[in-house]
Amino acid sequence: MSSTYRLNQWAWASLDWLFPPVCGGCGRTGFRWCPDCRQKVQIIPEPVCQTCGVPLSHPGQCSNCKESIPPYEMMRSWLVFEGPIRHALHKLKYYRNMALGDALAQHFAEFVGKLGWDVDMVVPVPLGKERMKERGYNQVGLLALPLAALNHWRYIPRALVRARETRSQVGLTFQERRENVRGAFHAEAAKVSGTTVLLIDDVATTGATLSACASALLDAGARSIYALTIARALPYHGPNKI
């Protein structure tokens, strides 16, 4: 943990003393991410596809990855996108809750540490210019920056940019999602050439955006890409449904 990060923790603690925080998952006062919400979230259940991390009924590789090998080495997600984590990520996305991003990153880091990935830098999935102008910040960075600091990884947010605006992925089919983001990203060769990149997004559904980003990074000379999200949207989940 860097000295800068420790200083930030001291600053958050001071603010929490002056202005008691509210849990991003349930609104409970006194916590940024309360124990009850930590208990209620659902970890992505094993087994998962060895490549894209989608839950399977048996170990191995999913049909999509067999048909079309993704450009990243592996993709993994921590939680199922529902309940408290869905509420928390919504607040992170629309209310610029930096303290919540830091709190989630601390618990996220425990999951990431168990993956054992050896990476050189952390790069967040970028917003388009119009969305950045409207929102004023990239919510993925609020998770990626503290995660990088906790692991002593370089954080390079401008290594990847959107080369063109894309429509929202919500409501699109798998194929439509892939076409929507195809060629939509550009990576800086001077920043990523020869490196192993940890690519981070907040939520994954089909993985189309992460695949497009990974392709851009590889085209710019990155050695390999690992993709990571804090949550994954699953159409059906539960011990008897995956």
In order of start, what are the domains of the chain with their CATH numbers?
43-232 (3.40.50)
CB atoms within 10 A of CB 82: 15
Strands 196-204 and 185-187: unpaired
pLDDT in tens, 50-71: 999 999 999 999 999 999 999 9
What is the rounded distance in angstroms from the CA atom of residue 105 to the CA atom of residue 85?
A: 12
Q: What single DSSP character describes residue 26? A: T
Angle at 96 between CA 37 and CA 18, to 5 degrees: 75
The pLDDT tens digits for 71-84 are 999 999 999 999 99
pLDDT at 99: 85
Q: What is the pLDDT of residue 242?
A: 40
Q: Work out the angle between the directed axes of helices 139-151 and 83-95 (0-180°, nearest 10).
A: 110
Q: How far is CA 78 from the centre of its chain?
A: 9
In angstroms, the CA 132 to CA 139 distance is 10
Burial code (b: 16+ CB inside 10 Å, e: under 16) for 100-135 equals: bbbbbbeebbebbeeeebebbbbbbbbbeeeeeeee
What is the CB-side half-sphere exposure of residue 116 using CA atoms within 13 A?
Answer: 0
Instruction: Give pLDDT < 50 ranges for the chain.
Output: 237-242
* Span 152-179, pLDDT tens digits: 999 999 999 998 877 677 776 777 777 7
Decide: 53 and 89 in contact? Cβ < 8 Å: no
| Structure confidence at residue 238 (pLDDT) | 46
pLDDT of residue 130: 86
Strands 74-80 and 224-232: parallel
Cα atoms in the 13 Å half-sphere on the side-chain side of 77? 29
Mean per-residue pLDDT over the chain, rounded: 89
